[in-house]
Homo-oligomer: A and B are copies of this chain.
Amino acid sequence: MKKLIEKHRKLGLKVTPQRLAILKYLDGNKNHPSAEDIFREIKKEYPTVSFATVYNTLQALRDKGEINEVTIDWEKKHYDPNPKPHHHIICTECNKIGDVFKDYSEALRLPGNIAEEFKPVRNHINFYGVCRDCQKKEKRRN
């Protein structure tokens, strides 16, 4: 709590109550919330909070490298407070997102012809699959 505040002051971010609420909500959160998820949560404590505040804060945190924008869901961005690079898997049935902590970088060399056209900087793997819950539902249907 104190640490959260100090950490963000040091980053040059003013710590407003709304921001603090967002920081607390994100801290350690493994659910890959969307901006709306965050907005709804913060609204409970600060009923007048606006979407702009949520987006502003998320952008500031992203620019400071504190959070990752997750773009595996075409519908909307999700936010991941784990700034360590990693990959994601999404359930094609329910859109649940999971983390994939494994460094594949050795294997991800670009073929020569395209390496001439582009200087690669980073990469991200999107895995698509079916989560446990949806596998169960599938079975029930059959």
A→B interface (CB under 8 Å): 71, 74, 77, 89, 91-92, 98-102, 104, 107-108, 110-111, 114, 116-132, 135
Contact of A111 among B101, B111, B119, B125 (CB under 8 A): B101
User: Which of chain B's residues has its CB closest to A123's CB?
Assistant: B127
Check if A129 sits within 8 Å of B119, measured CB to CB: yes
Query: Nearest Cβ distance between residue A105 and chain B, in whole angstroms?
Result: 10
Beyond A100-B110, A104-B107, A118-B127, 9 additional contacts (C-beta under 8 Å) are: A71-B74, A91-B118, A108-B127, A116-B132, A118-B129, A120-B127, A123-B125, A124-B126, A126-B126
Q: How many copies does the complex hold?
A: 2
The chain B residue with its CB closest to the CB of A100 is B114
CB pair A128 B117 closer than 8 Å: no
Query: Are the C-beta atoms of A118 and B101 separated by less than 8 Å?
Result: no
> In the complex, A74→B126 CA distance in Å?
14
User: Which residues in B have their C-beta under 8 angstroms from that of A128?
Assistant: 120-124
A-B complex: 5 closest residue pairs judged by Cβ atoms: A107-B107, A120-B129, A118-B129, A123-B127, A119-B130
Residue of B nearest to A107 (CB): B107
Q: Please state if A111 and B102 are interface contacts (CB–CB under 8 Å).
A: yes
Bound Cα distance A128, B108 (Å): 12
